[in-house]
Amino acid sequence: MIKLIQQEIYKLGQKRSTTIGVSALAGFMVILAILSKVYPNLFNAQAQFESLFASQIFIVFMLIAATSNIMMMEFQSGMIRPLLYRRYSRTQVLISKWLVILGYSILLFVGAIIWSLLIKVVLFNNTFALTGKMMTNLLQGVSAQWLTLWLLLSLVFLITNAFRSSAAAVSIGIIGYFVTYITAALMFGAIARWSWLRFNPLNMLNLSAQVSDGTMEKLTQLSTSGLVIGNLIYIAIFLYLGLVLFKRRAV
């Protein structure tokens, strides 16, 4: 199992998209920070810091792409057969991929926080104070974003195994990320009329918004802890269904 994880880490690290993605993420954050420094009337430095200089959207795309690629890599190259003919089971192979993406997601978010702190010290050290409350809100918001992102990633794992297409998985993952914002008014209206709809997975994606704005609870009709539990349940369901499909997948 450890060997499988090491192999997945090596393959992820060797992909050019990983290096390019991380470099683009860091560069984008610096550019946005410089714009906030030069044009303070257009870009609020503190607000940009609290949003990690808009790094979340980059991280979402990077992780969705990495998740679909890590699932399709062996099948497209034909390496899945020799991998399964060794002492590894399909369950071990898939769990190793889950763990690598889990570690990658944590690394990206932690890296974005550290990079934001460095940018703050270099460019905005005298612009705004870094308070304990600000950091608490930041960490709570990032944790909520990370959890809802994993709801999407678990769906990407499932879709990749269901359709055997990385393009379909990436498309559905990205659409799922934006559809919550696009259909929010319609969904909240439906939830107000049929309260049982509050348990639908799209509503769980509102966790991040509710953490930053407590009044969202009136619209989601679920407490913040309820949304957390809902996310965890759906993540477990999607990962399990993905495992079932992976174990039945022809090689």
Reported as a pLDDT band with limits 50, 70 and 90, residue 81 is low
Q: Which amino acid is at 96?
A: S
Q: What is the pLDDT of residue 77?
A: 58
Q: What is the pLDDT of residue 250?
A: 59
pTM of the model: 0.89
Q: pLDDT tens digits, residue range 105-135?
A: 999 999 999 999 999 999 888 888 888 888 9
Per the model's pLDDT, the better-predicted residue between 63 and 186 turns out to be: 63
Residue 165's nearest CA partner among 245, 60, 228, 98 is 245
**Domain boundaries in the chain?**
2-248
Ranking 90-94, 171-175, 218-222 by mean pLDDT, the lowest is 171-175
- Residue count of the chain, please give it: 251
Q: pLDDT tens digits, residue range 58-71?
A: 899 899 989 888 87
Per the model's pLDDT, the better-predicted residue between 87 and 108 turns out to be: 108
Whether 233 contacts 152, CB under 8 Å: no
Long-range contacts of 221-226 (CB under 8 A, 24+ apart): 221/191, 221/192, 221/195, 222/198
User: Does the pLDDT value for residue 140 go beyond 90?
Assistant: yes
CA dist 52 and 112 (Å) reads: 7
Q: For residue 182, how far is the Cα from the chain centroid?
A: 19
CA dist 83 and 232 (Å) reads: 30
Average pLDDT, the chain: 86
Ranking 10-14, 55-59, 85-89, 237-241 by mean pLDDT, the lowest is 85-89
Reported as a pLDDT band with limits 50, 70 and 90, residue 165 is low
User: Does the pLDDT value for residue 206 go beyond 60?
Assistant: yes
The H-or-E segment that residue 150 falls in is: helix 132-163
Whether 216 contacts 181, CB under 8 Å: no
Reported as a pLDDT band with limits 50, 70 and 90, residue 26 is very high
- Mean pLDDT, rounded, for 126-154: 91
Per the model's pLDDT, the better-predicted residue between 219 and 173 turns out to be: 219
Per the model's pLDDT, the better-predicted residue between 31 and 87 turns out to be: 31
CB atoms within 10 A of CB 114: 10
Phi, psi of 13 (to 5 degrees): -70, -30
Q: What is the pLDDT of residue 74?
A: 63
CA dist 115 and 111 (Å) reads: 6
Q: pLDDT over 90 for what percent of the chain?
A: 43
Residue 108's nearest CA partner among 149, 168, 50 is 149
Reported as a pLDDT band with limits 50, 70 and 90, residue 99 is very high
